Structure 1
């Protein structure tokens, strides 16, 4: 399949970990990490590039203290059983730390048909096997079963986060055991931090594909890809296969650095698949990359090869101003 649609990049400046979802009402709904890490915003537009000028509705703000008081990261918005849900990660601050890497996963619910209206209700923390660093939860449904995939720190495994999957009892409650399906094993997943995070699901060509991000959030950040047969037991770790090489990486020639934390959507006419991700347009960062605000949301169409696998190509350059 050839790709023809092009988008003006960046789509939205200073929005990292972007989640863009096209709903049956024809709107693209977007949420992402804001540079202040202090709130959750939702915006919508009939076009992807229109998201840049769309109204931003603040739907939730962090607390002054306690478990929901710092570093609000990577919200995702999902329609589930006629309601809207937002998955996000939040940390607690204490007198001795700023909450960094103390995240847990939480869920909001809204019964309004338009998630920019109505009331967002806190459904609480997603309880997992350990009380440990957990974030970037993503939801998907397959063959009538609801699943959650998320990164978490296993206290007994070296590294920062592995990927886990579990069935859901409801949108905020796990059902049964969580299963580890990926751990940072390749050199490109272990630069700066040992990280597998930011999972996103796309189903095509008889397979369930899981894209994820790896390594530190500077120019080493990149995307990897896993897959499982659509008829396999997704709760069996052996069903999942990880490609040995990254599928989207820094491109010096196009001045795109640290591409990752993606989501998937479709073009306005529904004919093409679209990769949404963030990247910076410069390499050198002063201080902690997490506090550099210029990870911008980007969009580009992608194709599928003869084996049925996605071909993302290179991160496209910024549009000329």
Structure 2
């Protein structure tokens, strides 16, 4: 079947950890990490491609001090029970402590019909069983239960972050139990850093899929996937099967390096599934890759295999000239 959605990458330049959500009002809403890591922006458009020229609205800015005063990472916009929520990670310092940044997860809420308007209220930190580095929270509903999925450091386990799941009492409060469903273990998950992060949930064909990103945020960055049956106990780690290899990774031929930290949306008519992700077009990074701003938002249609699992293919080549500087030190 021919693809109907025509997308030209990059969709938005210098926006990492991209999140696109198509709401019932017909708008696509977009948020992502900004290069300055100092605020949360939202924008909306009637088309995915139109998000590039949509006006970004700053809905929250980090304070000068306190637990949310540094390194605002990976916001996600969700609509739950008639209200809007943004999940994001923040740290009290930009310094690395014991080999890691010191992020925790936070939530803001807005009850306006349009999340670009109205007042955003801070709901505070999402508290977990461990008071350790945590980030990239995402949420989904299944069979009447709202779940949170997030990466976090366990001091007893090698690596930066594992993936956990727990039911929610409300959008900012975990209601026991929280269980680990994945940790970095395969060679493709531990290149540069031992990382499982950036989870995104997709429900299709009687299955629940959680994609996630692994390894360092350079050309080694790639995506794996966890799969559970929709009738399984999602709080049982045994219900989740991990892919043995990456399902989306660097395409050297097309100069698409380190694709990951994805989200999912659908085409305008709802007939096609779309993966949204960031990637760079070069590998020669000066300094920490996190401070290189040229991870651009990209999107492409994906298909499904006969067994009902997603087939993401390879990152497609850029079709638009990139205007931003190719090498920037912040």
**Residue 231 of structure 1: aligned partner:** 231
**Residue 193 of structure 1: aligned partner:** 193
- Contiguous gaps of at least 5 residues in structure 2: 322-330
**Residue 134 of structure 1: aligned partner:** 134
For 2:281 and 2:95, the matched residues in 1 are separated by 36
- 1:6 Cα deviation after fit: 2.4
Contact preservation (8 Å) 1:222, 1:258: yes
For 1:228 and 1:137, the matched residues in 2 are separated by 19
**Residue 314 of structure 1: aligned partner:** 314
For 2:16 and 2:110, the matched residues in 1 are separated by 23
Give the secondary structure class of the aligned counterpart of 1:177.
coil
- 1:27 Cα deviation after fit: 0.3
- Contiguous gaps of at least 5 residues in structure 1: none
Note if 1:44 corresponds to 2:27: no
Pairing of 1:233-272 with structure 2 (within 5 A): 233-272=233-272
After superposition, the Cα gap between the structure-2 partners of 1:102 and 1:95, relative to the gap in structure 1 and judged at 3 Å, is closer
Q: What TM-score comes out, normalization by structure 1 length? A: 0.98
Contact preservation (8 Å) 2:191, 2:220: yes
Pairing of 1:27-176 with structure 2 (within 5 A): 27-93=27-93, 101-176=101-176
Q: What TM-score comes out, normalization by structure 2 length? A: 0.95
For 2:85 and 2:96, the matched residues in 1 are separated by 33
1:176-205 deviations in Å (ceiling 9; x for gaps): 121000000100000111000000000001
Query: Size of the alignment, in residue pairs?
Result: 321
Note if 1:291 corresponds to 2:285: no
1:264-305 deviations in Å (ceiling 9; x for gaps): 000111110000000001111111100000000000000001
1:239-273 deviations in Å (ceiling 9; x for gaps): 00001010111111111000000000001111100
RMSD: 1.5
Contact preservation (8 Å) 1:71, 1:100: no
- 1:37 Cα deviation after fit: 0.3
1:146-170 deviations in Å (ceiling 9; x for gaps): 0000000011111100000000000
**Residue 182 of structure 2: aligned partner:** 182
